[in-house]
Amino acid sequence: MNSPAAPPWARCIPETGGRWTRRWVDLMLRLTVRRSLHPAADLGALRAMTARIDERYGWVEPGMRRTAQRVAGVPAEWIDVAGSRPDRVVLYLHGGAFVFRFPQLHAGLAARICTRVAARALVVDYRLAPEHPHPAAGDDCLAAYRALRADGVPAAGIVLIGDSAGGNLVLATLHRLKAAGEPLPACAVAMSPVVDFTLSSESLVGNAARDPIFTLGAMLGFRRLYAAPEAFLDPSVSPLFGDWAGLPPLLFQVGSTEMLRDEAVRAAERARAAGTPVELEIYDRAPHVFQAMRRLPQSEVALDSLARFVGRHAGWHG
């Protein structure tokens, strides 16, 4: 097992408010999501449950405009807010363990990001496993990036952002673009990404009782649905094992009690060792993809920090 402690250069953000709200969120997640995510669970029932969660807790930002579109044959949705500039595009790759969609939650999250950086977002509705296993999702995300470029959006006018499985796809897309010698985006953000399909991060065990969403059994099940074992070391599945030199500036955000905590830590350390500009933020006791949970004060703190990162490296300001 490889379990790095928080490196001295990481930013560890304390929980300064909303503790009781966070505890309530943790409890609700344990009673609904975690209890349902077990290896024998019926995928259809799980998708119905996540759809109910998305409908109930998804937040539509005031003034947000949603426009469905196909990009290079891939279903997608443009998110615009007041002040969105057409020359600034957030290419947002959603999470959902490679098998779920949360259209309301992710549209709201993309809108909150766009408001902070005066951009518009393209949320890619990539193909889901197990109906479409690897490399379908990655192919769709790469095709969407290339379509933006073909439509005249410069690479410097694109920022890649993703959460969980989407964070994996962000990093995998960067590795594939670099390998192909194509222009890279201005910068990228990975929130609680999955980076190692060999499941060798010690926090998968050390935080198993503290994480209110995942279990190791659930992760093993989702892994099986997405990729075959012979692909686990491929950087398009496990970006951790790619060449991190020459990538654009990266920001990793993760909660301290997540099972995926060490995934972000290890990836950030790989990037730093390769000379890639990287920032790592670890939020005390924050749940998985807490940025989408707008009632948590840490969500606002993280998105404000994300906006400052994008401002530094893409020159975008709200």
Domains of the chain, residue spans: 11-314
DSSP secondary structure letter of residue 186 = S
pLDDT given for residue 4 in this prediction: 52
pLDDT, tens digit, for every residue of 154-187?
999 999 999 999 999 999 999 999 999 999 999 9
* Catalytic residue list: 164, 258, 288
Q: What count of other Cβ atoms lies within 10 Å of the Cβ of residue 82?
A: 12
CATH no. of 11-314: 3.40.50.1820
- pLDDT, averaged across the chain: 95
Alpha helices in the chain (DSSP H): 19-29, 35-36, 43-57, 103-117, 136-150, 165-179, 203-206, 216-226, 261-273, 297-314
pLDDT, tens digit, for every residue of 6-36?
899 999 999 988 899 999 989 989 988 898 9
CB contact at 8 A, 108 and 294: yes
Three-state DSSP state, 70: strand
Rounded to whole angstroms, the Cα distance separating 187 from 202 reads 28
Sign (positive or negative) of CA dihedral 8, 309, 143, 70: positive
pLDDT, tens digit, for every residue of 32-78?
889 898 777 899 999 999 999 999 888 777 889 999 999 999 999 99
Per-residue pLDDT at 318 exceeds 90: no
- Region 263-278 average pLDDT: 98
